[in-house]
Structure 1
Amino acid sequence: MKSKLRVFTTASLFIMSANTAHAACTQSEQTLPVRELQLNAEGEFVPQWAKKAVWYQIFPERFRNGDPSNDPTKASIEGADPNEPVAHWELHPWGSDWYELQQYEQANGDKELWKHLLRRRYGGDLQGIIDKLDYIEEMGFNAIYLNPVFQAPSLHKYDSASLHHIDPHFGPDPEGDKALMAKEKPWDPNTWVWTKADKLALELIEKAHKKGIRIIFDGVFNHMGINSFAFQDVQQKQQASPFADWFTVNSWRDEDKGTAFDYQGWFGVKSLPEFKESTHDLAPGPKDYIFAITERWMNPMDKGREYGIDGWRLDVAFCVGHGFWKDWREHVKSLNDEAYLTAEIVDSPEKVKPYLQGDEFDGEMNYNFAFTAAEFLFNPGDAAISASEFDAKLREMREFYPKGVAYATQNLFGSHDSNRIASHIVNRGVGNFRDWGNYFQLSQVGNNPDYSPRKPTAEELHLQKLFVILQMTYVGAPMVYYGDEVGMWGANDPDNRKPMIWPDIEYADESVMPDGSKRKADEVAVNTQLQLHYKTLIDIRKRYPALQTGSFKTLLVNDDKHLYGFERALKDHQTVRVVINNSEQPRTVNLAADEQQWRDVLNQDTVEHTNGKVTLTLPAKWATVLVTQ
């Protein structure tokens, strides 16, 4: 199972378990004293805009092909896993059946599906994101988290060749950009040029900002790829390379001693050579390089922070020492004191806490929120938690971190590192999401033949809608993985990285299984009803500020009837009440009216007010959102 996982996953997906991850990244376990904090008038260190963010996560290669002239080529994917020659290669049809091998793939003769899936490129690019900014704005998203966009051969781009250039195949002139880049001394920022792809990224940022949409980039500061300028030089020159101290080298090539060149890859993955670290910090070479690229993207061309990105999401943050993060935060905040820093740390709150004390990160990708929501809303039978257990777990997360952090953390469910929410619901009962290491493999079709790749039913999508109500009304900044809002489904990596569903593209039915056999065909199309639900809930969140920055109070906990309710309030200005019926049958709920007139802004139902009480009947597995008149 371990070897199958290793070849079937990519990027930040080798986290077999939280304990294994931390054992492999021992530097980060050693905490350091918290440095002097820069607090605002509210006594918080998080940027205030991050509390009001509704995030949209975009995986660029699979979002939209806006410029077919820049499509990847067979040469452009060399160095990506699986790093072996391939005779036949073509741009993969955007609307094709996911598991069906195209003729060019069949001609290669590989029997292992994972190799085909990792070689595929669909042509998503920055122009495609620019073209869909109107869509993102219309849906109500006001912040974008982009998976890596820097130069790299893989589909996921966590194997960077450089961090100071956007991938040429994401821009309008790949060959021209490569020719420009070849004239640089990549280690010397004074020689760096601005390619057309780089400039297109700045155009994306500028156009997003004009729409009130913030953008953060994915920073991978633990490792680079084997195509990186630094590693290529080390491979060639060995100890004589000026980058010899950039990477963790186990042995140098020496014919006299009979030793081969060997180095540390992230989690043993040789395509991802790790930067050398001291106890608390990165080696000086990569650290200086990262500080330089940070300034490049946050203050491009010295034009000012308004032209740069609004922050960073940090990949495998637990694999980099605390000392680096503390220094780097100071650097980032000197460039933009309103920049938002969010970490990927899939672990218990106790392990996450040291990173969120004000001198490293502002928030995290809040998988613990996803785990807790899944245990309450989706887990079957005895695997489910009660309303009171749900309330206790939520309270623990809210109160575990310094003031403001809970409001700025990214509350997600699906991502590029987990199965999509729709497929999670289809396969509820297959393990427990919180058991990250085991569930990671159980939720991969390549590791678990019992995991169903079928489309969710209307009843299952109803459960997804229930989660969205919670996500958009609870404390924290909601984050939606591209395509979840239109009904995309898929198992864990690589199936969670299918091409986005657009109404102007024709899609084949999904009828092919991973082993090539046939199953009942599933239509692939935009689910407009689900899409409208997301749009409605995002609008409700943005329309009522109490849902963004308001206080939280538990309103109702009933384990026998599976009812849970909470209240969000902005002092005397506004109060919102949310009640969830998590049972399989309708429930009547009575709440104190508190001398207020209430209306249901979600269902538009009449709310009965009698004898100082509010009475409402909730359908099974549904909720209400009440606001004062």
Structure 2
Amino acid sequence: MILGIYSDQSENFLNPTNPKIGDEVTIKIRVPKKYGKVSGNLYLLTQKNSNKYKHTPMHLENENELFWYFSSNFLLTERFIRYHFELNFINHNKKIKYDARGIVENRHIEDFVIIPEFEVPKWAIGAIYYQIFPDRFYNGDPSNDPVDGEYIYDGEPIKKKQWNELPHPTKGHKEFYGGDLQGIIDKLDYLKDLGIEVIYLNPIFVSPSPHKYDTQDYDHIDPHLGIIIEDTNNMEEKYKIRTTSKKNLIESDKLFKKLVDEAHKRNIKIVLDGVFNHCGSYHRWVNEYKIYGEDIGVANNPNVPESEYFYWNKDGYEGWWGYKSLPKLNYDKTMLVWKYISEIGKKWVSHPYNADGWRLDVARDLGKRKSVNKTFWRYFRKIVKRANKDAIIFAEDYESPKEWIENLSWDGVMNYIGSMDPISYFLTGTEKHNDDFKPDLIGNSEWFINHLRWAWSQLPLNSKYVSLNQLSNHDHSRWATRTTKKIGRVYSAGHKEAENNIDWEIFKIGYLMSFTLPGAPGLYYGDEIGLAGWTDPDNRRTFPWEKLNETEYQNRLTFMKNMIQFYKEHFSLRNGSLEFLKWDKGFISYGIWNNNEHIVVIININDTPYKFEIPVWLSEIKNGKLKVVFNTKSVEFKEIEAYNGIIKGNIPEKTAIAFKKL
């Protein structure tokens, strides 16, 4: 087997990395010298749906002790460029094809793709995210708290709970704790000290639920998260006045502007959650509870003009997945929905609010036809980018997003395929909801590497560097609980069981992996102290601020701070090349490099120490010392020596170590 052939779309092998029409583009591939004489061809497709490759010889651009670097140049037109390589190893009488997944053997070609005029914000490449569920983060203003029985939601009066109470196993979606935007403002210095660069907020627009994925008013921030000036003690009118008073809405919008301004002063970006597939039944277009008047909305009069904003069947307007509380917006019928939602996208990234982008909820579900879906998102992205060229747009998506990225619909995705899923299965065998356990995937390095190579091939250009790497979020179980390898949900197993038998060594290894594999690493609030929880609603426990001074929580916080600092000090981790070096059952190693630095990560998740011999020459290291720059557990050595492209040593059980070449 021939090892060491390598190309990707980092600055090491593609220049420029954000190519525009008319640019001269240079593509490179690396070939080990030790295999003897070699020649190379670049195979190009210059039309989107063509099978007629044009092949052109590559020329030797430069070389070092270990490798030849072949390159090819061309001017970028308005057409897509799809490409792969063919290498002829003359001494071995062997030809090899190489594509976005590596050496091609017994599979179809997965071309690299260059998309003309596709550009992602530079600040978003490898940016460190912190996701906040506002109602559960910090209560900075008790005067805006929802009160017991303020209104009916899902057939029952809502409930206001004490901060340290746990969410009810089946009624958590009707419970409020009082977290708000002022609470986030109050904790910005905490987040800055932690090392956060971007805050991703779960929805904050007017909505009757704590999760706010059932939007009532896209044009304003919910006063329960903002500011309530106008209020009443009349419980029959309280919710209506609180959420429709112009004074409350205007002041709440101003508070959001203050949050963005204060975050920007600390060099922290703010990304919003856009729920545009469906609204909520409280929205004035539906007005199920007559908050906006007796005859307004399709729930009260199916013949109002807004009826064309929805899909209809024999039972009335359609709800997303059948939920009438989530009326599905109709993108197939009228441009009015397109224009309105796109203007919302534009509004919040523009002056005076100046948010830094959008995460798009259930983005693949929007509309009922893929062609409409992709065309709308391209339209939405164009409108938003025209208003704020540095705004990020990434989508919730669980499958390959390739055709959406190529369509210029999104910049990137929530990286389930390239982070949460493979890391969770490799380290714990546990599915992201704790609903399934696959012990055969624990330590299965072959599966892990093959899956990641496929996932990365689905994210062309810089998409993989801006896609959000998470191990926990509001939709799935907490990473700490997943390390228990237990199947369960809160209604069947109970809250306490989510906290029992957490494997803290595996917890730390998981986070080091999410910070060193390609993507923008992200924490879900409380992950920095190891907050536990089954999937929704248990993953939405309040942040236990009073526990920060306890030793075990402080130790976890210190670990996360140190890891983030390590990440920030090594820029190659944001956009470098990555090659897997050596792997075995429960053991994996990979190298990350750019022109200025070389990092090697080795991971042992076995219950016993592992003796390693790693070919670091695959990451362009031949000789010299490598210093330990981060480790999840104490190790005896501080540095290790590379001889003729190899490092040897022992790594303790359940340990991950990052080295840097001196």
TM over 0.5: yes
Residue 131, structure 1, aligned to residue 186, structure 2 = yes
Matching residue of 2:387: 335
Residue 345, structure 1, aligned to residue 397, structure 2 = yes
Residue 598, structure 1, aligned to residue 626, structure 2 = yes
Residue 545, structure 1, aligned to residue 608, structure 2 = no
Residue 377, structure 1, aligned to residue 427, structure 2 = yes
Deviation of 1:504 after TM superposition, in Å, equals 6.6
Cα distance change, pair 167–610 in 1 and its aligned pair in 2 (3 A): closer
Task: Specify the SS of the correspondent of 2:358.
Answer: strand
Query: Which string of whole-angstrom CA distances, capped at 9 and with x for unpartnered residues, describes residues 132-168 of structure 1?
Result: 1111111111011100000001010011110010001
Cα distance change, pair 228–505 in 1 and its aligned pair in 2 (3 A): farther
CA contact (8 A) 1:62 1:123 kept: yes
Deviation of 1:41 after TM superposition, in Å, equals 12
CA contact (8 A) 2:471 2:514 kept: no
Cα distance change, pair 167–475 in 1 and its aligned pair in 2 (3 A): same
CA contact (8 A) 1:275 1:283 kept: no
Which has the higher mean CA deviation after the structures are superposed, 463-472 or 285-294? 285-294
Task: Specify the SS of the correspondent of 1:491.
Answer: coil
Residue 92, structure 1, aligned to residue 161, structure 2 = yes
Q: 2: CA distance between counterparts of 1:444 and 1:272?
A: 24
Larger radius of gyration: 2
Q: What are the residue-to-residue correspondences of 1:496-575 with 2, within 5 Å?
A: 496-503=539-546, 527-559=553-585, 562-571=586-595, 573-575=596-598
Deviation of 1:614 after TM superposition, in Å, equals 3.5
Matching residue of 1:56: 130
Cα distance change, pair 614–383 in 1 and its aligned pair in 2 (3 A): closer
Residue 83, structure 1, aligned to residue 155, structure 2 = yes
Deviation of 1:482 after TM superposition, in Å, equals 0.9
Cα distance change, pair 98–274 in 1 and its aligned pair in 2 (3 A): closer
Q: When the two structures are superposed, what TM-score results if normalisation uses the length of structure 1?
A: 0.76
Residue 609, structure 1, aligned to residue 605, structure 2 = no
CA contact (8 A) 1:501 1:526 kept: no
Deviation of 1:114 after TM superposition, in Å, equals 1.5
Q: 2: CA distance between counterparts of 1:68 and 1:331?
A: 37
CA contact (8 A) 1:140 1:539 kept: yes
Cα distance change, pair 157–451 in 1 and its aligned pair in 2 (3 A): closer
Matching residue of 2:336: 285
Q: 2: CA distance between counterparts of 1:619 and 1:502?
A: 34
Write the letter of the residue equivalent to 1:318.
R
Matching residue of 2:412: 363
Deviation of 1:74 after TM superposition, in Å, equals 4.0
Matching residue of 2:328: 274
Matching residue of 1:490: 533
Q: What are the residue-to-residue correspondences of 1:171-570 with 2, within 5 Å?
A: 171-173=226-228, 175=230, 182=244, 195-232=250-287, 233-235=296-298, 238-251=301-314, 262-278=316-332, 283-301=334-352, 307-320=353-366, 321-347=373-399, 349=400, 352-357=401-406, 359-368=408-417, 369-379=419-429, 381-384=439-442, 386-428=444-486, 430=487, 443-446=488-491, 448-449=492-493, 453-457=497-501, 460-503=503-546, 527-559=553-585, 562-570=586-594
CA contact (8 A) 2:548 2:554 kept: no
Q: 2: CA distance between counterparts of 1:204 and 1:487?
A: 26
Q: Which has the higher helix share?
A: 1
- Report the RMSD for the aligned CA atoms in angstroms: 3.1
CA contact (8 A) 1:607 1:614 kept: no
Which has the higher mean CA deviation after the structures are superposed, 460-469 or 582-591? 582-591
Q: 2: CA distance between counterparts of 1:171 and 1:193?
A: 8
Task: Specify the SS of the correspondent of 2:305.
Answer: coil
Higher RCO by CA contacts (8 Å cutoff, separation 6 or greater): 1
Write the letter of the residue equivalent to 1:228.
H
Task: Specify the SS of the correspondent of 1:272.
Answer: coil
Write the letter of the residue equivalent to 1:502.
W
Q: 2: CA distance between counterparts of 1:162 and 1:549?
A: 38
Query: Which string of whole-angstrom CA distances, capped at 9 and with x for unpartnered residues, describes residues 270-299 of structure 1?
Result: 111111231xxx633322221222222111
Q: 1: CA distance between counterparts of 2:380 and 2:642?
A: 58
Write the letter of the residue equivalent to 1:500.
F
Cα distance change, pair 44–323 in 1 and its aligned pair in 2 (3 A): closer
Residue 156, structure 1, aligned to residue 211, structure 2 = yes
Deviation of 1:453 after TM superposition, in Å, equals 2.6
Q: 2: CA distance between counterparts of 1:585 and 1:505?
A: 33
Deviation of 1:214 after TM superposition, in Å, equals 0.9
CA contact (8 A) 2:624 2:642 kept: no
Write the letter of the residue equivalent to 2:526.
G
Cα distance change, pair 246–381 in 1 and its aligned pair in 2 (3 A): closer
Cα distance change, pair 557–183 in 1 and its aligned pair in 2 (3 A): closer
Query: Which string of whole-angstrom CA distances, capped at 9 and with x for unpartnered residues, describes residues 116-144 of structure 1?
Result: x2321100000000111111111111011
Write the letter of the residue equivalent to 1:445.
V
Residue 114, structure 1, aligned to residue 149, structure 2 = no
Q: 1: CA distance between counterparts of 2:317 and 2:151?
A: 23
Cα distance change, pair 227–54 in 1 and its aligned pair in 2 (3 A): same
CA contact (8 A) 1:426 1:452 kept: no
Q: How many aligned positions are there?
A: 517
Q: 1: CA distance between counterparts of 2:170 and 2:244?
A: 33
Q: When the two structures are superposed, what TM-score results if normalisation uses the length of structure 2?
A: 0.72
Matching residue of 1:46: 120
Query: Which string of whole-angstrom CA distances, capped at 9 and with x for unpartnered residues, describes residues 594-616 of structure 1?
Result: 22321001147422437555443
Residue 580, structure 1, aligned to residue 603, structure 2 = yes
Deviating above 6 A after TM superposition, structure 1's stretches of 4 or more consecutive aligned residues are 35-43
Q: Please list every run of 5 or more consecutive structure 1 residues that lacks an aligned counterpart in the other structure.
A: 1-31, 100-112, 185-191, 252-260, 302-306, 431-442, 507-523
Write the letter of the residue equivalent to 1:125.
D
Q: 1: CA distance between counterparts of 2:360 and 2:280?
A: 17
Query: Which string of whole-angstrom CA distances, capped at 9 and with x for unpartnered residues, describes residues 343-395 of structure 1?
Result: 11123x2xx32222151001111112211112211126424352122111111
Q: 2: CA distance between counterparts of 1:271 and 1:127?
A: 29
